Amino acid sequence: MLYLVGLGLGDATDITVKGLQAVRGCSRVYLEAYTSILTVGKEALEKFYGRELILADRELVEQQADQILQDADATDVAFLVVGDPFGATTHTDLLLRAVHAGIPYRVIHNASVLNAVGCCGLQLYNFGETVSVVFWTDDWRPESFYDKICKNRAAGLHTLCLLDIKVKEQSIENLMRGKKIYEPPRYMTVSQAADQLLQIIQRRRGQGEELGFTEDTVCVGVARLGADDQMIRTAPLRQLVSCDLGGPLHSLVVTGRLHPLEVDMLRLSAEPNALDQLHMTDSSTYTS
């Protein structure tokens, strides 16, 4: 049996009781280590679970999946994923490989940023399409996430922005030379994401575009969601550029139309007066 086990967000104790039972009963336990991270490392997890963990990087999962699935028809193998197992496409691929190899599988769900982000006070059913904000390079500066955010806002919807993670990446130089030397991991901060968004806004304003999302739009920066030291900061986008929310992972939410109950909740994570710019547009909604 292949167990796909979500570890939730936060630390070792965020695993479910069902998930812990599965982990303890498996002969091999892999820890997926490239799409997300907890606030604790492999050693803390091993201590709490009472099991040795095999780190599974992108190469192992995508190119040597057979190794993970080996003998899983005869023995139990667990594949641990931060958040919920269905947060990333590569896990779906592993599951399909198991099915095609005749290996039974079982999914043990857990919290994901997609639902836990509700703790900032924005109602989950008022979110539109989720977007990913990627690290720009000198010659690759995609802006498609900005257009999706505007589309959501035009429909009154909030947008969860997942921020880029670069783990075990090679520099172009090392890649070209075939050297397996990896750059230190990078996790995009709320400040970095806000900075890229502001650059897009400035560029487009310079071209005379009408903007559906500006530096005055109320946004929510979220860091280490679900952990004891979680931080949430609500402010207009331009203020989030200078915020320091500490260590990874960070996410950013761009608000759409706000319900009064949502505004009340956002005030808990805003500086006094930070939301004063909100104008009531009718009896039940606010816009930024």
Residue 241 CB, shortest distance to a copy of itself, in Å, is: 25
**Virtual CA dihedral for 106, 37, 97, 74, nearest 10 degrees?**
-50
**Cα–Cα distance for residue pair 99/152, rounded to 1 Å:** 36
**Cα–Cα distance for residue pair 246/255, rounded to 1 Å:** 22
Interface of this chain with a copy of itself, residues 199 to 238, rule: CB under 8 A: 225-226
Phi and psi at 211, nearest 5°, equal -105, 130
The answer to whether 9 is annotated as binding is yes
Residue 206 CB, shortest distance to a copy of itself, in Å, is: 28
Distances, alpha carbon 54 to alpha carbons 13, 80, 177, 266, in Å: 19, 10, 28, 40
Q: How many CA atoms lie within 13 A of 122 on its CB side?
A: 32
**Cα–Cα distance for residue pair 98/106, rounded to 1 Å:** 11
Q: Are 31 and 138 in contact (CB under 8 A)?
A: no
Which C-beta is closer to a copy of itself: that of 13 or that of 273?
13
Q: Confirm or reject binding of residue 32 to a copy of itself (CB under 8 A).
A: no
The answer to whether 69 is annotated as binding is no
Q: Which of 55, 181, 211, 261 binds a copy of itself (CB under 8 A)?
A: 261
Q: Confirm or reject binding of residue 121 to a copy of itself (CB under 8 A).
A: yes
Interface of this chain with a copy of itself, residues 137 to 176, rule: CB under 8 A: 151, 155, 157, 162
Q: Which of 2, 3, 5, 6 binds a copy of itself (CB under 8 A)?
A: 6
What are the residues binding a copy of itself (CB under 8 A)? 6, 8-18, 20-21, 83-87, 89, 92-93, 95-96, 99, 107, 109-112, 114-116, 118-119, 121, 123-132, 151, 155, 157, 162, 225-226, 261, 264-265, 268
